[in-house]
Chain A
Amino acid sequence: AQSVTQPDARVTVSEGASLQLRCKYSYSGTPYLFWYVQYPRQGLQLLLKYYSGDPVVQGVNGFEAEFSKSNSSFHLRKASVHWSDSAVYFCVLWGTNTGKLTFGDGTVLTVKP
């Protein structure tokens, strides 16, 4: 079985502060990992993806994520958040052996001005 856990349902930070959104996965094979963002009344948009290689991947709008096989994690980071980053963030796992996509429940990020 494969699973994705986003332990923080809601995160609130002040504008200009740094951000980390946590993602833990469970999968016995090689995972492909994604972070998607969903702005209000919109569909999900890809922020970044990890397939292999350098464990730190860069995404759009200054986001990056770090893959850790030993910790089974794929945390999302941003050095300085803007109010427009307020959205729901989903961590997603693609099982290369199962051919199955698994979504986390999402983290609601609120950035205070």
Chain B
Amino acid sequence: EAAVTQSPRNKVAVTGGKVTLSCNQTNNHNNMYWYRQDTGHGLRLIHYSYGAGSTEKGDIPDGYKASRPSQENFSLILELATPSQTSVYFCASGVRVGGDTGQLYFGEGSKLTVL
């Protein structure tokens, strides 16, 4: 079964601090994604990747960086965290076989609070 694991599951950070959210998938999927979920906004795409070494900007990339050092790992980096980045972050992976099908496998989320 598809498995996407996020860490940490909960994080409290201070304004201006650096935060790294990590994601590991054991599905051998090419595509990985970072979303944030806020009340009233559903899920919004921050960054995504088509494979090791690649990162692409999503719909709301400002204030975030991403890193895909390997097929299995995809990190979201907040260099200077702000209270507006308080949210729940979800990582997801998806297959690219003969063209994407759009189906994603999600991690359980990382709740970030920036004070």
- Spell out A's residues near B (CB within 8 Å): 32, 34, 36, 41-46, 49, 51, 90, 92, 94, 96, 99, 101, 103-106
Contacts and interface: CB of A to CB of B under 8 A. Distances in A.
Contacts of B99: 96
A27 B2 CA distance: 29
Given A42-B109, A43-B90, A94 B100 contact: yes
Contacts of A99: 100
Given A41-B109, A42-B108, A103-B42, 19 more contacts: A34-B103, A41-B108, A43-B4, A43-B90, A43-B92, A44-B92, A45-B106, A46-B103, A49-B103, A51-B101, A90-B42, A92-B102, A94-B101, A96-B99, A99-B100, A101-B45, A104-B42, A105-B41, A106-B42
A85 B108 CA distance: 18
Determine the main DSSP class of B at the interface with A: strand
Interface of B: 4, 40-43, 45, 90, 92, 99-104, 106-109
Nearest to B96: A99
Contact of A105 (B40, B90, B100, B103): B40
